[in-house]
Amino acid sequence: MLVAPLWRNSRRSERPDTAFRASSPKAVTLARMGWAALYLCSGAMVHSREFLRHYEDEAVHLDPDRFDSFVCGGFRPHCGKMICKQSPEHAWAIPRGRLTDRQEKTPVKTVLDQLRDMTVVVADSGDVTAVKRYQPIDCTTNPSLVLVALSDPASEEMIVAEIEAGRKAGLSAPALTDTLTVAVGARLSGLVPGRVSTEVDARLSFDTDASVARARAILADYAERGVVRERILIKLASTWEGIRAAEILQDEGTDCNLTLLFSMAQAVACADAGAYLISPFVGRITDWYKKAEGVDGYDSLQDPGVNSVRKIYDYYKANGIATVVMGASFRNTGQIKALAGCDNLTISPKLLDELSSEVADLPRALRPGQAHAEPHKPITEAQFRWDMNVDAMATEKLAEGIRDFDADHHKLTQIIAERF
């Protein structure tokens, strides 16, 4: 890669195509910070794959006409300069017509690209257009996301066909709501190479037998559409009853995604049940603590939602628990970056877009080999209920989440009834 300078040294201008060590005070400062200080001076080129860190108070004095491209997150051309708008970022540029056979142009890696190298990225969306754009491995759906899918032009033809088929079959609006949810999942299964999570009705969260029956019906509907159970994850709320339903389904060979998870007690119970995957809700945990503590936000190292997932991840990895940890419900990209390296992360289209447009180093935050935690001890129902009782945040957010999903399910049914 050819690296453009953040400043010039005219004394070197007679030596083009040469790499130099910087001697200015700024360069020395950067070198002491562990960064290579390489620069281009009046036509000289630097051969390096090192990135040069740039700060807000420094302008890049480069003539845009002399360069093929500027590739720098947070920069914009202005009066023949590149001005930094956010700090810190990486910046480099390619001089016009100065490539040689010895030089290699290294592809730019966005934060999203780097995240994919260490974490399975899941689309937290039922929006066909978004899934096609970001090409995640898996997709997750719930009543709230299916509601959004109803307004997606790419899904309109499928929705109209499902409603017409339901009308001919004499289905009620609630029954059609169930089949439409599976139809959305089946459509998504054709767009991703991995799995699609489909949620059991929230109103069944405290009924183990009914949850198992509904899960089996979902799988049967998928099978009729040509989607095998190995492509599906059944989503269940992480109540004691939901976890017991997951245990039954896992024994039958159906993998489950335990959602609305806010505490270590829930995580331990899910591990005991052999759940395939859990979804701790980062953002909702943070929301509760922000309100309780009267703060506007947290540093990533102090974020309660982020730390909850880190604790669960370490507990699982240190104890050899195979259950996949999938962080969910993110409020900003900072929370996502702080969990880079987690098994899976399910991310909304808005945050996927932000990550895909940012060019910066993404250090790995979680590593299985570095996990340390107390030894695993199975949890009893009595202990589970007591631990949830004393954890106000977990109790309140679990109940709120179940109510909200149920409200969205009713809203979805009402919209379908009106169209029906």
Q: What is the DSSP string of 44-103?
A: ---B----EEE-TT-EEE--GGGEEEEEETTEEEETTEEEE-SSSEEEEEEETT---TT-
Residue indicated by tokens 């900003």:
332
How confident is the model over 301-325, as a mean pLDDT? Answer: 97
Computed over every residue of the chain, the mean pLDDT equals 79
Residue in 235, 317, 337, 397 annotated catalytic: 235
Say which range, 40-49, 159-168, 338-347, 404-413, has the weakest mean pLDDT. Answer: 40-49
* Contact status, residue 347 vs residue 330, Cβ threshold 8 Å: yes
Strands 52-54 and 120-123: unpaired
Whether the pLDDT of residue 20 is over 80: the answer is: no
For 231-265, write each residue's pLDDT tens digit: 999 999 999 999 999 999 999 999 999 999 999 99
Q: What is the C-alpha to C-alpha distance for residues 145 and 420, in angstroms, rounded to an integer?
A: 20
Which helix or strand (DSSP H or E) is residue 235 part of? Answer: strand 232-237
> CA dihedral in degrees (74, 76, 81, 86; nearest 10)?
-20
Q: Is 235 a catalytic residue?
A: yes
In sequence order, what are the beta bridge partners of 236? 258
Residue range 365-382: mean pLDDT, rounded: 96
Average pLDDT over residues 96-104: 41
- CA-CA distance, 221 to 171, in Å (whole number)? 14
- How does pLDDT run across 103-140, given as a tens digit for each residue? 444 557 999 999 999 999 999 987 888 899 999 999 98
pLDDT band at 5 (very low <50, low <70, confident <90, very high): very low
Q: Which domains does the chain have, with CATH numbers?
A: 10-95 (no CATH), 111-419 (3.20.20.70)
What values do phi and psi take at 229, rounded to 5? Answer: -60, -25
Q: Which of 269, 304, 315 is nearest to 392 (CA)?
A: 304
Which one has a higher pLDDT value, 392 or 108?
392
Interhelix angle for 381-390 vs 264-272, to 10°? 160
Instruction: Give phi and psi for 8, each to the nearest 5.
Output: -115, 160
Q: Model confidence over 183-219: pLDDT tens digits?
A: 889 999 999 999 999 999 999 999 999 999 999 999 9
Q: What is the pLDDT of residue 35?
A: 31
Residue of higher predicted confidence among 149 and 315:
315
Classify residue 271 as exposed, middle or buried by CB count within 10 Å of its CB (0-12, 13-18, 19+). Answer: buried
Percent of the chain with pLDDT over 70: 74
More confident of the two residues 16 and 340: 340
3-state secondary structure at position 256: strand
pLDDT at 371 over 70: yes
Residue 142 has pLDDT above 80, yes or no: no
Q: Tell me how many degrees the CA angle 287-292-293 measures, rounded to the nearest 5.
A: 100
pLDDT at residue 83 is higher than 80:
no
- Which range of 54-58, 64-68, 215-219 scores highest in mean pLDDT? It is 215-219
Q: Is the overall model pTM greater than 0.75, yes or no? A: no
9: tokens are 């040294």
The one-letter code for the residue type at 265 is A
pLDDT at position 352: 96
φ/ψ of 106, rounded to 5, equals: -80, 130
Q: Provide the percentage of residues in the chain whose pLDDT is more than 90.
A: 57
Residue 81 contacts by C-beta under 8 Å, 6 or more apart in sequence? 59, 60, 61, 62
pLDDT at 26: 34
Cα–Cα distance for residue pair 393/292, rounded to 1 Å = 9
Instruction: Indicate whether 284 pLDDT > 80.
Output: yes
Q: What 3 state SS string does 288-340 have?
A: HHHHHHCCCCCCCCCCHHHHHHHHHHHHHHHCCCCCEEEEECCCCHHHHHCCC
- pLDDT of the residue at 417: 83
Omega prior to 77 cis, within 30 of 0: no
Give the pLDDT confidence score for residue 125 in this predicted structure.
Answer: 84
CA angle 247, 248, 254 (to 5 degrees): 90
pLDDT band at 420, cuts 50/70/90?
low
Could you tell me which of 120, 97, 108, 86 has the C-alpha nearest to residue 45?
97
